[in-house]
Amino acid sequence: MLENSEALATIQGVFETQPEEPLKQFADSIFDVDTLEQLGPYHRSSHFEAVTDETVAWVKQLKIVESTPESDAEIRAWASMNAYAHDGEPHKLCVSGKIYGVLFLMDDLLGNDAQINGLNQKEQQFLGQMLLSLKGTLKLVIQGQDPRGITFELPAASSAELTPFYRKAQVLFHEAWEVLQLVRTETDQQYTIEFSFLLASHLSEALKQQDEGILATIASAPLDQVIEQYLRLRRKVSGMQLGRKVTEYTAGSQLGVRALREKSAGNSNVQNFVQLLSNLEQCVDDFGGLGNDGLSARKEVLRDGTIFNYLPIVMLGLAQEQAPGTILFDQLYSAAILSLQKRLLQLTQNFSHMLTGDETQSSIFQLLDQLDETMLTPAGSELSAAEIKKQVRSYILGLQQYFLATYYWEIDAEGGKNRYQSTSDTSTAVIK
């Protein structure tokens, strides 16, 4: 089978032979735009400018990213995603902007294979120790401790060892902990536990060490099985699950969604609705992850030196079936794009069907209205059945905006265009 270096060289060869299309033109070729428009009209947050400006200012005051015209544009690009994906009170959007800021900066730090490989041995050791320290402290939160009462310790270093990389990474990891404390202040203990669990899972996968496992599977498994394995891993890496958790917060629905799940025990109608809601959530996760894969594949392969992406995985599976020296790059690229188109089309249609229903199946909103309120009636001081339904409806509408933002943010001049269009080195990674 192909080794990692051979695999990367093969995929880089594929992308180097393909002309780079304008981003919207490429996006319109892989997304089912007609169905997306039917799910609209889509509107980004009415607080877009103010919230995005505040997020950008917060990132810049951290002084993690070297300020250049390219990096400033990219910071604004991913800062704007927050107000594309969510709406709600400006204060909540500013909090979610910090969450996204930490996630993007972490991803740029941990997800750029070329830059990670360029660290010296001591820097790589520090990075591993910092990750272990953060995950270990997150474990305490998951076990029920309040993050506001925990001191987050980073590995010590002598002044000679404090390289620019280490200093910037140290600021980022401390800021991640500050944001988690902010989450606890804004929400309750259970929400913070759930958020911390997702963050720990995301960090555990972020270095993408699973590349070896996927490559090994390609040698013996059918391509569809390889793709399914990739998708399971992609859900953890993409941060989409964390984004859904943010949606609960910005929509003011975390208590209602939790109450609904708790009321599903022993009630088949509520159980069926909760399963449908879970299906809708997974659709959002896969659509966002794969949509990002398609639009970022070229940049990730040529700039970041990583093959952990749907398009390269499909290409590698197909290349493995060909004899050495006979690989046709155009065929690999076209087949991978077609596979991605089919996946995104299926996800879009499934999401639309669940959201709007048809003559044979009620929409998720109709099914929510039909839930027997006596089965949702809580005891004590919990939410009323009507409030549970109201918050769940708000959450579903939030998921709809989150789903649509995958496309509309990617093609906007202030969004994905600044992050994914060029293969030049405009990364906001902390390593410079």
42 contacts 85 by C-beta, under 8 angstroms: no
Domain contains 431: no
CA distances from 53 to 97, 98, 176, 419 (A): 10, 12, 20, 17
Domain contains 429: no
Residue-range definition of the domain harbouring residue 129: 4-420
Domain contains 375: yes
| Domain at 381, CATH number | 1.10.600.10
Please tell me the distance from the alpha carbon of residue 116 to that of residue 124, in angstroms, as a whole number: 8
Q: Is the pLDDT of residue 95 over 80?
A: yes
Please tell me the distance from the alpha carbon of residue 54 to that of residue 37, in angstroms, as a whole number: 30
Domain contains 425: no
The band of 419, judged by pLDDT with boundaries at 50, 70 and 90, is low
The band of 372, judged by pLDDT with boundaries at 50, 70 and 90, is confident
> The whole model's pTM is what?
0.89
Please tell me the distance from the alpha carbon of residue 332 to that of residue 319, in angstroms, as a whole number: 7
Closest Cα to residue 182, out of 58, 296, 306, 64? 58
Q: Is the pLDDT of residue 285 over 90?
A: yes
Q: Give pLDDT tens digits for 206-229.
A: 554 445 566 667 666 788 888 888
DSSP-derived secondary structure letter, 342:
H
Domain contains 430: no
Domain count for the chain: 1
419 alpha-carbon distance from chain centroid = 15
CA distances from 95 to 85, 181, 248, 384, 424 (A): 14, 11, 13, 27, 31
Lowest-confidence pick of 172-181, 226-235, 263-272, 376-385: 376-385
